[in-house]
Amino acid sequence: MTKVPTKSAAQITAMREGGAKLVEVLKSVVELVRVGVSLTELDQLAFSRIKELGAQPSFLGYQDYPATLCTSVNNGIVHCIPNSYQLQEGDLLSIDCGLIWKGMHTDSAVSVIVGRDIHGYQPLLTAVYRALLAGTAEVAAGVTVGRISRAIEESLSLGNLTIMRQFVGHGVGEKLHEAPIIPNVVGHDKDVWLPSGSVVAIEPIAGTGGEAHGTDPDGWCARTLDGAPVAHFEHTVLVTEVGGEVLTPLDSIIQFRP
């Protein structure tokens, strides 16, 4: 049976503080998003803000990943390296970021539309964010991973979306990726229960087309083969006896209401 690590009181305090810092970083990055801004500029801002806050980037150097952010545009699913691409009107941009504060990682992601929604992507964003909230609402001590996965799966199914099931949530803390695996469909680790004091990153990822995907020559960026758009939202959530405490709340960042 998968063993889910728990955090000490000091580690939980560090993750609360780190989560607040991560939200500040994401908010700064989202405020810079506009037509003509390059993905590299967004990444440079994220790195600078993390350093200003006294923290360290989680992604930079992780398994040789070369950037602070993952910036996935339109049919990009996850793990896309920022480059010189300049954002265009109506692009769907998913921004994933993690930071280390006092030895503890927090991890969060948000999807936004660049400028006007000329491609009609808003329903996709709204549905994926609702799935994040649905999964988070199930979190409490003693709850199984399968219950969280089911809530996400059912929520995404209501929107007739394709779940990118190969990409999953995870535990987080001393390491960026810890046990358990948190799938967006009922499957792996479904019978594993979450103890009070554990921390998980819940991250629904879904699109409007097919599930088939490939990887860019850089070995990192996953994209849908049919070019259909994908959205991605993520919270770091502390498991408590009375429910889940979101350590990276996106309320001040998202540009819509679910």
Consult the annotation and say whether 216 binds a ligand: no
Dist. CA 46–CA 165, nearest whole Å: 28
Consult the annotation and say whether 232 binds a ligand: no
Determine phi and psi for 39, rounding to 5 degrees.
-65, -35
98-114 per-residue burial string, b: 16 or more CB within 10 A, e: under 16: bbbbeebbbbbbbbbbb
**74: nearest Cα among 233, 207, 169, 213:** 207
Dist. CA 192–CA 42, nearest whole Å: 37
Consult the annotation and say whether 119 binds a ligand: no
Dihedral angle, C-alpha 207, 74, 225, 119, nearest 10 °: 70
Consult the annotation and say whether 41 binds a ligand: no
| Token pair of 92 as six digits | 């769907």
135 membership: H or E segment, kind and range? helix 122-137
Consult the annotation and say whether 203 binds a ligand: yes
**96: nearest Cα among 71, 115, 116, 119:** 71
| 3 state SS of 180 | strand
Consult the annotation and say whether 251 binds a ligand: no
Q: Show binding-site residues.
A: 79, 96, 107, 170, 177, 203, 234
Q: Show binding-site residues for substrate.
A: 79, 177
Q: Show binding-site residues for a divalent metal cation.
A: 96, 107, 170, 203, 234
